[in-house]
């Protein structure tokens, strides 16, 4: 038997302890699902794909943000106990479900969307996979939007307006994309007071990203480009 402590409530709330049978290859998401199906159907949590693609099941597991569907209990259990809470730095809707709206809004605030050029409508851009800029973009592009980095980031907790690692990482993939037509617009979006310069390089994001992205590297790249644009008066 595992003792599973789960946060119940909203910002105000408490941990409830549940007993869940231990199984081989069990994931943290399996624990939560067992509690919801067998012990307390009122438990709220969020998941979809169960295979590490959709990015919807992230939670705080023993004080560390993780994707729960790909986290084996065996890896995180401490003396027969697992403590599961909602992600940090986001409002709590109920129990383990956070309100992801501020996180996704910051993706838009960072102008994290592709701006096509007119030429892209009539011709296909030829981009070599070996192109150095393309490689930079490729290294950062597989983000699943799970908000684990956002929850791990202390700068977000100290400056709630800070755009955060995921949004800035996304912006970096776009300024590194030769097909995007609004490089200065992307740089302006990340140069504002909540932008890339608030990052201190703690690298909590790098340590916790479940798909192995290095947002600090992306943010450092943005810092350099914004710096050069600013001193040349192009922002």
Residue 203 Cβ vs other proteins, minimum distance, rounded to whole Å: 4
Residue 98 Cβ vs other proteins, minimum distance, rounded to whole Å: 17
Please say which residue, 20 or 171, places its beta carbon nearer to other proteins.
171
Please say which residue, 15 or 158, places its beta carbon nearer to other proteins.
158
Please say which residue, 35 or 156, places its beta carbon nearer to other proteins.
156
Q: Give Cβ neighbours of residue 204 (< 8 Å, ≥ 6 apart).
A: 149, 152, 153, 154
Q: Coil, strand or helix: which one is 76? A: helix
Q: Coil, strand or helix: which one is 85? A: strand
Residue 36 Cβ vs other proteins, minimum distance, rounded to whole Å: 26
Backbone angles phi, psi at 142, to 5 degrees: -85, 20
Please say which residue, 101 or 235, places its beta carbon nearer to other proteins.
235
Q: Coil, strand or helix: which one is 180? A: coil
DSSP summary character for residue 135: H
Residue 1 Cβ vs other proteins, minimum distance, rounded to whole Å: 27
Please say which residue, 116 or 201, places its beta carbon nearer to other proteins.
201
Q: Give Cβ neighbours of residue 180 (< 8 Å, ≥ 6 apart).
A: 114, 115, 116, 117, 174, 186
Q: Are 100 and 87 in contact (CB under 8 A)?
A: no
Residue 24 Cβ vs other proteins, minimum distance, rounded to whole Å: 28
Residue 144 Cβ vs other proteins, minimum distance, rounded to whole Å: 20
Note the residues at the interface with other proteins (CB under 8 A). Answer: 63-65, 152, 154-155, 158-159, 191-193, 195, 197-198, 200-204, 206-208, 214, 216-217, 220-221, 223-224, 226-227, 230-231, 235
Please say which residue, 100 or 155, places its beta carbon nearer to other proteins.
155
DSSP codes of every residue in 200-226: ----HHHHH-TT---HHHHHHHHHHHH
């Amino acid at each position: 038997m595992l003792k599973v402590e789960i946060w119940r409530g909203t910002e105000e709330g408490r941990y409830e302890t549940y007993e869940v049978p231990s199984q081989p290859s069990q994931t943290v998401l399996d624990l939560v699902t067992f509690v919801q199906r067998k012990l307390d159907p009122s438990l709220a949590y969020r998941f979809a794909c169960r295979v590490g693609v959709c990015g919807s099941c992230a939670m705080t597991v023993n004080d560390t943000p993780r994707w729960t569907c790909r986290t084996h209990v065996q890896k995180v259990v401490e003396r027969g106990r697992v403590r599961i809470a909602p992600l940090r730095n986001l409002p709590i809707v109920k129990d383990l479900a956070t309100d992801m709206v501020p996180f996704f809004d910051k993706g838009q605030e960072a102008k994290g969307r592709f701006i096509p050029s007119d030429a892209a409508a009539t011709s296909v851009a030829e981009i070599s996979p070996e192109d150095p800029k393309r490689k930079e973009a490729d290294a950062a592009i597989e983000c699943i939007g799970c908000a684990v980095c956002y929850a791990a980031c202390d700068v977000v907790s100290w400056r709630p307006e800070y755009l955060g690692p995921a949004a800035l990482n996304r912006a970096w993939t776009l300024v590194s994309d030769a097909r995007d037509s609004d490089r200065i617009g992307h740089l302006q979006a990340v140069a504002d007071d909540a932008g890339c310069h608030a990052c201190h390089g703690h690298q909590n994001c790098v340590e916790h990203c479940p798909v192995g992205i290095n947002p600090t590297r992306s943010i450092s790249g943005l810092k350099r480009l914004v710096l050069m644009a600013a001193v040349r008066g192009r922002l």
